[in-house]
Amino acid sequence: MPQDTVDAFPLTVLEAALAGRYPHTPGWGWESAADLRLARQVLRRADLDGIEERDCATLSGGERRRLALAALLTQQPELYLLDEPTHHLDPHHQITLLDLLAAECRDGKAAIMTLHDPNLAARYCSHVLLLFGDGTTASGPCAGVLSAEALTRLYRHPMHGIESAAGRCFLPG
């Protein structure tokens, strides 16, 4: 899932979600009733039900982001590659989207993603890779890599770790 999507053709929300099924349609065939059910189910899970007939060009940035995830989920890949999947999303939809991906991973799928929010990485990722501006890296399990010191170096801005009911959180100083 790239950072941004471009509408190459005018599509409705449902048609865009169904685009994820194209690798599974035979030859020049059309989507099946099962494909249509899957797309509608995924749109519901992405909080896009009720707008299936809207033109994609009328969607907000957050709606577009959720639709991109819906199209990816309808494809049913074994490995999800996501570039900043949570940008343009409010906290509710960030958590909803990452909960959907976490559920896919619990079902045996895998996800590799870029995230700029260390709190989301700490909450959802088992491992992280930090890419520092000088070409060095730090990688490993989140608990061992995500620290105020490492994030201060990464962001070149003071970061503070705070223990909370949700776990360790990081805030800029």
* pLDDT interval class at 20 (50, 70, 90): confident
pTM of the predicted protein model: 0.85
DSSP, collapsed to helix, strand or coil, labels residue 29 as coil
Secondary structure, 3-state, 66-125: HHHHHHHHHHCCCEEEEECCCCCCCHHHHHHHHHHHHHHHHCCCEEEEECCCHHHHHHHC
Class of domain 1-114: alpha beta
pLDDT at 55: 94
Q: Which residues of the chain does CATH 3.40.50.300 include?
A: 1-114
155 vs 26: CA distance, rounded Å = 48
The percent helix, strand, coil of the chain (3-state, each to 5) is: 45, 20, 35
Beta bridge partners of 62: none
Q: Which tens digit of pLDDT belongs to each residue from 92-130? A: 999 999 999 999 999 999 999 999 999 999 999 999 999
Q: Which tens digit of pLDDT belongs to each residue from 65-95? A: 999 999 999 999 999 999 999 998 999 999 9
Inter-axis angle of helices 61-75 and 91-106, nearest 10: 10
149 vs 107: CA distance, rounded Å = 34
